Amino acid sequence: MAGPTGDHYFSAAPKAGPRPGRVRLHLPDLDGDLSLRTDAGVFSATAIDLGTRFLLDVGARPGPDVTTVADIGCGYGPIAIATAKRAPDATVWAVDVNERALDLTRANAEAAGVGDRVRVVTPDDVPDDLVLDALWSNPPVRVGKAVLHDLLRTWLPRLVPGGSAHLVVARNLGADSLARWLADEGHPVTRRGSRRGYRLLDIASSLGP
């Protein structure tokens, strides 16, 4: 939904004046809480989104062998930064169109001690030859189906054979129809579970193991 200034959380340059804040992210498997800077004009600025929380609790568990992973639509960085903490040898690409969100992710990654391994970029700055072991995303469903499908058609083919993507999507925003579309596109998709109206979708690389 657009805010009072006509902004969306996916505006490239939000017009909303600064309203800096912080959210605390406690993950039982990590030492110490993450204190993440947020601001007006970015997604879920006052609290970790419930879908993101579900993904972090259940789905965002990088295996020991991953070296290159991505968070598509990183916002202020909760998934990218938690993933970098959980996979201490991995490079994490944190991608967003919202410049304010990207600045926050950069600052949050630096403060969390993972700034050297979190590459914070716009989609245009992603190298063409980037390949990924895994990707996580609370994707921007409010951009509309066509844009979301384009985004997934861009990112899923970057997975290595045997790689996987993990998406959290609200049921009332089309999680089940997205799962059907993914299957129709040839991606093996599993509905891993639901929590408080969100579905977690696991997608295997269509290139197989």
Ligand X SMILES: C[S@@+](CC[C@H](N)C(=O)[O-])C[C@H]1O[C@@H](n2cnc3c(N)ncnc32)[C@H](O)[C@@H]1O
Residue 78 engages ligand X in binding (rule: CB under 6 A):
yes
Strands (E), the chain: 21-25, 34-38, 68-72, 91-95, 118-121, 132-137, 159-170, 189-195, 198-204
Residue 36 engages ligand X in binding (rule: CB under 6 A):
no
Q: C-beta of 9: minimal distance to ligand X in Å?
A: 5
Neighbours of 136 (CB within 10 A): 28
Residue 96 engages ligand X in binding (rule: CB under 6 A):
yes
Q: Dihedral, CA atoms, 55, 59, 62, 68, nearest 10 degrees?
A: -60
Kindly report the CA angle at 39 between 178 and 143, in degrees rounded to 5? Answer: 25
CA 182 – CA 98 distance, rounded (Å): 26
Residue 40 engages ligand X in binding (rule: CB under 6 A):
no
Q: Closest CB to ligand X belongs to which residue?
A: 73
Residue 203 engages ligand X in binding (rule: CB under 6 A):
no
Residue 144 engages ligand X in binding (rule: CB under 6 A):
no
> Could you tell me which stretch among 23-31, 57-65, 113-121, 137-145 binds ligand X (CB under 6 A)?
137-145
Query: Among residues 72, 19, 75, which one has the least CA distance to residue 42?
Result: 75
Tokens 């997205």 correspond to 178
Q: Pick from 68, 108, 138, 164 the residue near ligand X by CB under 6 A.
A: 138
Q: Pick from 34, 37, 43, 133 the residue near ligand X by CB under 6 A.
A: 43
Q: Pick from 6, 18, 20, 123 the residue near ligand X by CB under 6 A.
A: 123
> Could you tell me which stretch among 23-31, 58-66, 82-90, 135-143 binds ligand X (CB under 6 A)?
135-143
Query: Among residues 179, 163, 88, which one has the least CA distance to residue 130?
Result: 163
| Binding residues vs ligand X (CB under 6 A) | 9-10, 43-44, 49, 52, 72-75, 78-79, 95-98, 101, 123, 138, 140, 143, 151
